[in-house]
Amino acid sequence: MSTTKTLTEARALLSSGGSVVGATEQALAAAEAQQYLNAFLELFPETALEQAARVDAKLKAGDAGPLAGLVLSIKDNICYKDHKVSAASRILEGFTSLYSATVVERLLAADAVILGRTNCDEFAMGSSNENSAFGNVKNPVDPTKVPGGSSGGAAASVAASIVHAALGSDTGGSIRQPASFTGTVGFKPTYGRVSRYGLIAFASSLDQIGPFAHTVDDTAAVYSAMAGQDPKDSTTSSRPVEPISLEHPRKLRIGYYREGLERPGMDPEVVAHLQAHIDRLKAEGHTVEPIDVPLLDHQVPTYYILATAEASSNLARFDGIRFGHRSKVAQGVDETYRLSRSEGFGPEVKRRILLGTFVLSAGYYDAYYAQAQRVRRIIRDHTLAAFERFDLILSPTCPGTAFGHGAITDPITMYLQDIFTVQANLAGTPAISLPTGTHSNGLPFGIQLTGAPFAEAKLLAASKVLFGC
């Protein structure tokens, strides 16, 4: 373990004579000592220590940025110039980024140190980190369990206290679900609040980059340093980023999903925990009322039609010609495409490309893709309408706790892991998983708070003040 868990502790260490170089060396040692987790695909000792030395010099000169002292990991689908990036896929093995993602540039400019790139499901497709071409990630709380996915390495790197914070990406829950499984805070901002420039695309209309940390304070610090309009991503919003003040004295109106308490298949302890929070919030004088999830049983199918359709288009660029792996045995152009893709992509990615191509094909487009777009619009409208009545919506993050490696083999069962998380992506709202629960099986679990679009400040303040995270 590194000696500090949070940025606040790291700053305290710096003011009592510690250095960022020292903290970085310790983080590197902690990563080496916990290699069995398989959380990191690569450490960046050279550039991390160079950056740390720069930050130490700036601290001495008194002009260090807001993240001075923070050591951070990035998911292996975020580009960092002159560093390898693979999306945990054989098809990009050995590929080096030609430029840095905007989030990387902004975090470095704020004086964070980037320790390395973390393992994940291939192209961020999965809920257990069992789809990586480079092996499973172990859950630091219980290594026999998965850490969740797709940002499993990111979550594990924070849960094991190797780094203070991690960047993940969330297309249907890939930050919040692993946060729930590992006992960390995981935050997906509003679609368009954080630049996706330099994020290897999975499903562009759903993808968002966001942070993991031990505390809401650190989550807010990392989020604030990277949020805001980016001329390189035309889907980012021009709205000014609200300053985050982690105090919120006012009484709130909170909706909670009835289905989160009543749905079959829910772990009874997760339900009881949610109910206890509902009772407590009422007792504290907040208005807490049940609401129905819009089209709950249609959310996961809608998500998987749209996500796979977009993925099949985004992944067309990996063809053995322009990027990454090229088949050594292929002869001619057609065979080069076919074999390079067959050899380079893993089974889950292939399944999704097939499904996505099918739902976009001329004969089925109207029945699947166009229909899913309409359902998405209804889900979004219902979600936004709920925020006319409520400040926040409370739900479980996941139906249960982390499961064993290999325990879920059926893709449909795996996809249902996302039942409470895909709504925020379909509707574009911000949502956070807070580590509030510990199950009698010893594993952590989270609850999810969702806010209206661009209500990050309110969401983060409530997370800290109402849930003490």
Considering the rule CB under 6 A, would residue 130 count as an interface residue with ligand GLN? no
Considering the rule CB under 6 A, would residue 171 count as an interface residue with ligand GLN? yes
Enclosing H/E stretch for 115: strand 113-118
Looking at the Cβ atoms of 108 and 199, the one nearer to ligand GLN is 199
Among candidate residues 73, 75, 224, 458, the one labeled active-site is 75
Looking at the Cβ atoms of 150 and 180, the one nearer to ligand GLN is 150
Q: Can you list the alpha helix ranges (DSSP code H) found in 285-439?
A: 296-314, 332-344, 347-360, 371-389, 411-415, 422-427
- Cα–Cα dist 200/339, whole Å: 22
- Cα–Cα dist 57/79, whole Å: 26
Looking at the Cβ atoms of 4 and 395, the one nearer to ligand GLN is 395
List beta partners, residue 208. Answer: 170
Considering the rule CB under 6 A, would residue 124 count as an interface residue with ligand GLN? yes
Task: Identify the residue among 69, 116, 126, 294 touching ligand GLN (CB under 6 A).
Answer: 126
* Binding window for ligand GLN (CB under 6 A); candidates: 87-95, 138-146, 165-173, 232-240: 165-173
Considering the rule CB under 6 A, would residue 355 count as an interface residue with ligand GLN? no
Task: Identify the residue among 4, 86, 100, 127 touching ligand GLN (CB under 6 A).
Answer: 127
Task: Identify the residue among 111, 122, 170, 319 touching ligand GLN (CB under 6 A).
Answer: 170
Residue 11 buriedness (CB in 10 A; 0-12 / 13-18 / 19+): middle
| In the complex, least distance from residue 162 CB atom to ligand GLN, rounded to whole angstroms | 22
Nearest to 459 by CA among 203, 228, 252, 193: 252
Looking at the Cβ atoms of 30 and 124, the one nearer to ligand GLN is 124
| In the complex, least distance from residue 358 CB atom to ligand GLN, rounded to whole angstroms | 17
Nearest to 314 by CA among 404, 205, 395, 412: 205
Residue list 11-70, contact with ligand GLN (CB under 6 A): none
Residue list 196-225, contact with ligand GLN (CB under 6 A): 202
Binding string to ligand GLN for residues 307 to 336, with x set by CB under 6 A, is what? x-----------------------------
Considering the rule CB under 6 A, would residue 125 count as an interface residue with ligand GLN? yes
| In the complex, least distance from residue 73 CB atom to ligand GLN, rounded to whole angstroms | 17
Considering the rule CB under 6 A, would residue 456 count as an interface residue with ligand GLN? no
Looking at the Cβ atoms of 32 and 297, the one nearer to ligand GLN is 297
Considering the rule CB under 6 A, would residue 255 count as an interface residue with ligand GLN? no
Give strand ranges (E) for 177-246: 185-188, 208-213
174 is catalytic: yes
Among candidate residues 128, 150, 340, 433, the one labeled active-site is 150
Polymer length of the chain: 469
Indicate the SS3 state at residue 72: strand
Looking at the Cβ atoms of 128 and 383, the one nearer to ligand GLN is 128
Strands 253-257, 392-396: pairing is parallel
Peptide bond just before 89 cis, omega within 30 deg:
no
Considering the rule CB under 6 A, would residue 302 count as an interface residue with ligand GLN? no
Among candidate residues 174, 180, 195, 463, the one labeled active-site is 174
CA distances 32 to 45, 47, 150, 243, Å, are: 11, 17, 22, 37
Nearest to 447 by CA among 272, 325, 263: 272
Burial state string for 293-327 with b = 16 or more CB within 10 A and e = fewer than 16:
bbbbebbbbbbbbbbbbbbbbbbeebbbeeebbbb
Looking at the Cβ atoms of 21 and 427, the one nearer to ligand GLN is 427
In a 13 Å sphere around the CA of 343, the CA atoms on its Cβ side amount to: 17
Looking at the Cβ atoms of 13 and 194, the one nearer to ligand GLN is 194
| In the complex, least distance from residue 341 CB atom to ligand GLN, rounded to whole angstroms | 20
Task: Give the list of residues 6+ apart from residue 199 with CB closer than 8 angstroms, or none.
Answer: 77, 78, 79, 101, 103, 169, 207, 209
440 is catalytic: no
Looking at the Cβ atoms of 56 and 170, the one nearer to ligand GLN is 170
Task: Give the list of residues 6+ apart from residue 324 with CB closer than 8 angstroms, or none.
Answer: 89, 91, 92, 93, 94, 95, 318, 344
Considering the rule CB under 6 A, would residue 418 count as an interface residue with ligand GLN? yes
150 is catalytic: yes
Considering the rule CB under 6 A, would residue 174 count as an interface residue with ligand GLN? yes
- Cα–Cα dist 387/315, whole Å: 35
* Binding window for ligand GLN (CB under 6 A); candidates: 105-113, 166-174, 364-372, 392-400: 166-174
Task: Identify the residue among 140, 147, 172, 356 touching ligand GLN (CB under 6 A).
Answer: 172
Instruction: Give the neighbor-by-neighbor strand order of the sheet with 444-451.
Output: 40-43, 113-118, 71-75, 165-170, 208-213, 185-188, 431-438, 444-451, 392-396, 253-257, 287-291
| In the complex, least distance from residue 156 CB atom to ligand GLN, rounded to whole angstroms | 16
Q: Can you list the alpha helix ranges (DSSP code H) found in 151-244?
A: 152-159, 176-182, 216-226
Active site residue ranges: 75, 150, 174
Give the residues lining the site for ligand GLN (CB under 6 A): 124-127, 150, 169-174, 202, 307, 418
